[in-house]
Amino acid sequence: MIPAPVVAERNLKNAAAFSFFIRMHVIPLPSGGGCKCAFYFTVIMIYYKDMITATKIRIYPDTKQVEKLAKAFGCARWLWNNSLNESQKTYQETGKGLGHFALNNRLPDLKKSVDWLGETHSQVLQAVCLNLSRAFVNFFERRAEYPSFKSKHDKQSIQYPQGVKIVDGRKLFLPKIGHVKAVVHREIAGTIKTVTISKTPTGKYFASILTENGLDAHAISLDGKILGIDVGLTHLAITSDGSKFDNPKHVAKAQKNLRRKQRKLSRKVKGSNTRNKARILVAKAHEKVANARKDYLHKLSRRLVDENQVIAVEDLHVKGMMKNHCLAKAIGDVGWGAFTGMLKYKAEQAGKGYIEVNRFFPSSKACSCCLHFQSSMPLKIRSWRCDKCGTSHDRDINAAQNIRNEAQRMIAAGIAGTASRGTVSQVRGRKPSVLARAVDVRSPVL
Ligand SMILES: [Zn+2]
């Protein structure tokens, strides 16, 4: 029997942003051979960043506060649309749009000409300018669509960059609005950074509180059980240890109810009170579906993160797949994007690893035992036998096992990103992970 490797670990660089380890494994070999020991290296990268947490709480403004909030939503929306329009005009005339400072500099004059604009907290208006300039930057750096005009029929929101306080654990102080009743369902630790107040189409109010605790995020450890997850439409998640989790198909189940309510709404006269009531019923039905989906995804992602040390998934291009109109509805219903997002932040919070395997890695075609590639693998084939080693595979479980093996290779080669890697990639869609050269992980690298 080969004894366990002696591990020597050396921390090469310890910057604020990340730590970089080279780990040397020395394996003493049984006597009789020419050489007495063998060694190999693994490189481990651990990234840190300030822990920023978002907590969404429900708030219950009274009648007067509802009125003040409605004015604030209106002012913010008007300013957004006005600034966007002005920026477009300036662009047509000069070839350059308005930046953050130019947008902010318009505020004093606008307040003079539009007197009701002054009723809203000045920082809320400045936040609109900042968000619009960021929306343009995101568009030009190909991360987002071109900023669009806001409508009073959509979800409403305002943002406070500072000045919001939690009072006695049951009230939220908002500048110019007052103390709003709130249900703070969990402790909000750290400094409050930005607070976004939103109103849903069903008339519920929420505050999304961003806090920074000033501490480094947990160091990410990639030592431990790796779970590969393949996502699908028949089953939402298929794991490398052979579990299959159902896709509850929330929209499909509620389809009849949604259709009936939508049809009722379309028959009502525009602008009437009954139309408004019907609109709220439709919005409530949609909200119920969205809540059921979120609840399921939260519970499943929590369980998978709690039971494993490293989570590996494919870096799916969900937006691209949604362009296929035959699948768009089903893909939107299953919620892959939200699911992987939850896995990622939950892993990050727990100091665990989250690895995305390149979407072009042929996880379905390769045999997870011998890495032999099948020439073709049509979607209808659900189970198959490997031509080379003869192992029988379930299509999805084999794909999940391949994703796990690929993540294992990436960790061994030191090219695995962890959960707290960069936040937003520079190109549209998600940043592709580095694809490791396929090598058989079971043979020791000596
Ligand atoms: Zn095989």
DSSP 335-375: THHHHHHHHHHHHHHTTBEEEEE-TTS-TTTB-TTT-PBPS
Q: Which residue has the tokens 């362009």?
A: 323
Question: pLDDT tens digits for 88-121?
Answer: 999 999 988 899 999 999 999 999 999 899 899 9
- Work out the number of other CB atoms within 10 angstroms of the CB of residue 271: 7
Which range among 134-143, 221-230, 292-301, 371-380 has the greatest average pLDDT? 292-301
Work out whether strand 171-174 and strand 178-183 pair parallel, antiparallel, or are unpaired: antiparallel
295 flagged as catalytic: no
Q: Ligand 1 centroid to 158 CA: how many Å? A: 56
Name the H helices within 95-114.
Answer: 100-105, 107-113
Residue, of 356 and 417, whose pLDDT is higher: 356
**Pick among 3.30.420, 1.10.1760, 3.40.50, 1.10.3470: CATH of 219-250+297-415:** 3.30.420
Q: Ligand 1 centroid to 362 CA: how many Å? A: 14
CB burial of 209-240 (b: ≥16 within 10 Å; e: otherwise) equals bbbeeeeebbebebeeebbbbbbbeebbbbbb
- Count of residues in the chain: 446
**Which of 53-62, 64-73, 131-140, 369-378 shows the lowest per-residue confidence on average (mean pLDDT)?**
369-378
- Work out the number of other CB atoms within 10 angstroms of the CB of residue 375: 6
**pLDDT for residue 430 is more than 80:** no
Instruction: Name the burial class of residue 442, with classes exposed (0-12), middle (13-18) and buried (19+) by CB atoms within 10 angstroms of its CB.
Output: exposed
Question: What type of residue sits at position 26?
Answer: V
Question: pLDDT tens digits for 302-333?
Answer: 999 999 999 999 888 887 888 888 888 888 88
**pLDDT for residue 301 is more than 70:** yes
Residue, of 429 and 233, whose pLDDT is higher: 233
Choose the catalytic residue: 314, 315, 333, 348.
Answer: 314
Q: Ligand 1 centroid to 374 CA: how many Å? A: 9
Q: Which residue has the tokens 């299959």?
A: 244
Strands laid side by side in the 226-231 sheet: 244-246, 235-239, 226-231, 310-314, 353-357
Quote the pLDDT of residue 415: 66
Q: Ligand 1 centroid to 391 CA: how many Å? A: 6
**Average pLDDT for 128-137:** 95
Quote the pLDDT of residue 218: 64
Question: Minimal CA–CA distance to 226: which of 364, 357, 358?
Answer: 357
**Average pLDDT for 73-91:** 96
Question: What type of residue sits at position 222?
Answer: L
- The span from the CA of 444 to the CA of 241, in Å, is 23
- The span from the CA of 418 to the CA of 310, in Å, is 9
Q: Taking all residues of the chain, what is their mean pLDDT, rounded to a whole number?
A: 82
- The span from the CA of 436 to the CA of 110, in Å, is 56
**pLDDT for residue 263 is more than 60:** yes
**Which of 30-44, 301-315, 368-382, 428-442 shows the lowest per-residue confidence on average (mean pLDDT)?**
428-442
Quote the pLDDT of residue 105: 94
Q: Identify the band that residue 222 occupies on the pLDDT scale cut at 50, 70 and 90.
A: confident
- Work out the number of other CB atoms within 10 angstroms of the CB of residue 369: 17
Question: pLDDT tens digits for 165-191?
Answer: 999 989 999 999 999 999 999 888 888
Phi-psi region of 136 (alpha: psi -120 to 50; beta: other; left: phi over 0): alpha
Name the H helices within 183-272.
Answer: 250-267
Question: Minimal CA–CA distance to 207: which of 189, 180, 176?
Answer: 180
Q: Which residue has the tokens 């059980």?
A: 225
Kindly list the protein residues that place their beta carbon closer than 5 angstroms to ligand 1, a single-atom ion.
367, 369-370, 372, 386, 388-389
- Work out the number of other CB atoms within 10 angstroms of the CB of residue 57: 18
Work out whether strand 18-28 and strand 37-47 pair parallel, antiparallel, or are unpaired: antiparallel
**Average pLDDT for 395-409:** 92
230 flagged as catalytic: yes
Quote the pLDDT of residue 40: 54
Residue, of 420 and 395, whose pLDDT is higher: 395
Choose the catalytic residue: 315, 333, 356, 396.
Answer: 396
Helix axes 273-307, 250-267, angle to 10 degrees: 170
Q: Identify the band that residue 29 occupies on the pLDDT scale cut at 50, 70 and 90.
A: low
pTM to 2 decimals? 0.75
**Average pLDDT for 117-134:** 94
Q: Identify the band that residue 30 occupies on the pLDDT scale cut at 50, 70 and 90.
A: low
Is residue 129 a contact partner of residue 123, using CB atoms and an 8 Å limit?
A: no
Quote the pLDDT of residue 431: 38
Question: pLDDT tens digits for 42-56?
Answer: 555 544 456 788 899
- Pinpoint the residues of the chain covered by CATH 3.30.420: 219-250+297-415
**Which of 38-47, 165-174, 290-299, 424-433 shows the lowest per-residue confidence on average (mean pLDDT)?**
424-433
How many helices and strands, by DSSP H and E, does the chain display? 10, 17
Q: Which residue has the tokens 């099948």?
A: 374
- The span from the CA of 355 to the CA of 436, in Å, is 12
**pLDDT for residue 12 is more than 50:** no
**pLDDT for residue 390 is more than 50:** yes
Question: pLDDT tens digits for 184-218?
Answer: 998 888 889 999 999 999 999 999 999 987 665 66
Tokens at 10, concatenated: 């050396």
Quote the pLDDT of residue 196: 96
Choose the catalytic residue: 187, 230, 246, 394.
Answer: 230
**Which of 48-52, 65-69, 86-90, 351-355 shows the lowest per-residue confidence on average (mean pLDDT)?**
48-52
Instruction: Name the burial class of residue 391, with classes exposed (0-12), middle (13-18) and buried (19+) by CB atoms within 10 angstroms of its CB.
Output: middle
Residue, of 222 and 286, whose pLDDT is higher: 286
Question: What type of residue sits at position 50?
Answer: D
**pLDDT for residue 38 is more than 60:** no
